[in-house]
Chain A
């Protein structure tokens, strides 16, 4: 009996913490279900190829592989290699376009 009195109620705990992740989760689900996430991904991919970003990343990978020898390279290595540079080198106009699209989706999703 003491146990059940002292133990915090589980459902309440989840509700108290869970607002932000839940909102994001909801939005994520909406993005995926409406197909918008797929469209946004394709749009971003296309823009990144057009502006040469993908080629830059591939060149980075290639030189790393050449340096280390192709049998010593793990996927993890490459991801860690590209992530900081990749995030920093997205052109502003590409980022702006995507953010615009996402924001208008959020508006239309009207929470």
Chain B
């Protein structure tokens, strides 16, 4: 009896083991299925969320109606701040002493220092030699405290780059980068 029984036993044992294992496999699968359906796997959710957000961000970047940072009325930067499209901080013009908004500074300087009829009269009065080189003029050197001075870079006259070198900060930041 022992011979065939032994084989039977081995076969039976394997069969029983297989049954146990199958039950456990179904249990594990069922557990994972439940976790998946109920959204209990935090990592899974976070990754889905991140993928969704990155797809969103990519769509926003690719969107032609957004012209990078200049469409700033509604675009939020990474700190969650929005900036008005015209910079609103107020400075004193070193030339005429008036209070000017930063976003209006360049056009103001154009009129104040250069291309306007009245401005040219002012310049010829103050310094004849430096009529086309505003950079070496005294008004510029008093300008050091303001990092926003680089708005003079906006002047289309071509002087700005030279003017920029005078500043101790040497910063060429865009106004948008100011916090």
Cα distance A69–B16 in the bound complex, in angstroms: 35
Q: Is the pair B39, A70 in contact by a Cβ cutoff of 8 Å?
A: yes
Interface of A is mostly: helix
Main secondary structure of the interface of B (DSSP, over half): helix
Asked if B32 and A58 make an inter-chain contact with CB atoms under 8 angstroms apart, the answer reads: yes
Q: Which of A23, A70, A83 contacts B36 (CB 8 A)?
A: A70
In the bound assembly, the distance between CA atoms of A33 and B32 in angstroms comes to: 30
> Using an 8 Å CB-CB cutoff, how does the interface string of B43-55 with A read, 1 for contact, 0 for none?
0100100000000
A74 to B21: give the CA distance in the assembly, Å: 20
B17-37: which have CB < 8 Å to A? 17-18, 20-26, 28-33, 36-37
Chain B hits for A70, CB < 8 A: 36-37, 39, 44
* Cβ-defined contact, B33 with A44, below 8 A: no
Establish whether residues B41 and A106, one from each chain, have CB atoms under 8 Å apart when the complex forms.
Answer: no
How far is A24 from B36 in the complex, measured between Cα atoms in Å? Answer: 36
B15 contacts the other chain (CB 8 A): yes
Q: Of the candidates B22, B30, B41, which one forms a contact with A62 in the assembled complex, judged by CB atoms under 8 Å apart?
A: B41
Given known A-B contacts A66-B47, A70-B36, A75-B30, A98 and B24 have beta carbons under 8 A apart: no
Task: Give the distance to chain B from A94, nearest Cβ to Cβ, in Å.
Answer: 10
Q: Of the 9-residue stretches B5-13, B76-84, B111-119, B168-176, which lies at the interface with chain A?
A: B5-13
Closest residue of chain A to B16, judged by CB? A102
Cβ-based interface call for B14 (8 A): yes
Q: Cβ of A61 and Cβ of B13 under 8 Å apart?
A: no
Contact A57 B28 (CB under 8 A): yes
Whether A95 pairs with B29 at a CB distance below 8 angstroms is no
Assess whether A86 is interfacial by the CB under 8 Å rule: yes
Question: Are B20 and A41 touching (Cβ within 8 A)?
Answer: yes
Given contacts A65-B44, A66-B44, A98-B20, contact A75 B33 (CB under 8 A): yes
Known: A73-B33, A106-B9. A24 touches B15 (CB 8 A): yes
User: B-side interface residues toward A, CB under 8 Å?
Assistant: 9-10, 12-18, 20-26, 28-33, 36-37, 39, 41, 44, 47
